Structure 1
């Protein structure tokens, strides 16, 4: 049975922290996990960009205030090359090899890439287990499709539930993979 979770919530609610806890626990249990996540890049206490990291290793710069070429989102310029080299390749490899694919996040920066969109569409259409974070207020058709695919497994993270949700997801994913 396939497990498909979508996590959302306002900025700072703990989506990436939850994803990293889930990934670490799944790996401890011997689950093959692949995918990507993003983290803030800070300089002198000020956010200057975002890093994209592949779960199995490798990282690049997703967006930066000093970049000049690429799509602009607010004060950041998105680096499609690193997004596709790190993020898209992680998703495509995960579709072939992983038991669980993690995507953090399907948000405005990532959605500038047509290749990223296509990889997420393939993941949705596949039978792979997936845990995806989506931008809280996005009305993009792909974000809506991710939420719809998750159905009852669409979880809005907040300060009250963010510490309990990772353990629940890990339990359900491991049971689905192990056939219990």
Structure 2
């Protein structure tokens, strides 16, 4: 697979496991969780398209975005009305509460 610094991206595993998990979540779950969208994942057009489908699904999507990752998909996420919560050392132990506070009203509507 392609190289990213000293790492090689295993596109086959990413697409067999990661893409399939996103597709199954879109089809079956109430919430789609994607951990993470980063520089390595962006090498896979199938992964990028799976994330786009999740975002268009109408279901809540909770994901992590690598802070330094760049690309058209991430621009769409950052500027497409998504609520971005920054994970920091000081908030990482309680950030899940804020995420749940955002999800609860969305899940009650279903």
Q: 1:169 aligns with which of 84, 93, 99?
A: 99
1:138 alignment partner, one of 57, 69, 72: 69
Q: Match of 1:155, SS?
A: coil
* Contact 2:31 2:61 (C-alpha < 8 Å) held by counterparts: yes
Paired position in structure 1 for 2:3: 72
RMSD after superposition: 1.6
CA deviations on 1:56-110 (whole Å, 9 max, x unpaired) are xxxxxxxxxxxxxx11111111111110111000111111101011111111111
Q: What is the aligned counterpart of 1:99 among 22, 30, 35? A: 30
What's the TM-score once normalised by structure 2's chain length?
A: 0.90
CA distance in 2, matches of 1:159, 1:77: 28
Gaps of 5+ in 2: none
Alignment of structure 1 residues 13-162 onto 2, 5 Å: 70-151=1-82, 153-162=83-92
Between Structure 1 and Structure 2, which shows a larger proportion of strand residues? 1
How far did residue 123 of structure 1 move? 1.2
* Bigger Rg, which one: 1
TM-score, normalization: structure 1? 0.57
- Tell me what 2:108 maps to: 178
Aligned residues: 110
2:15 aligns to what SS in structure 1?
helix
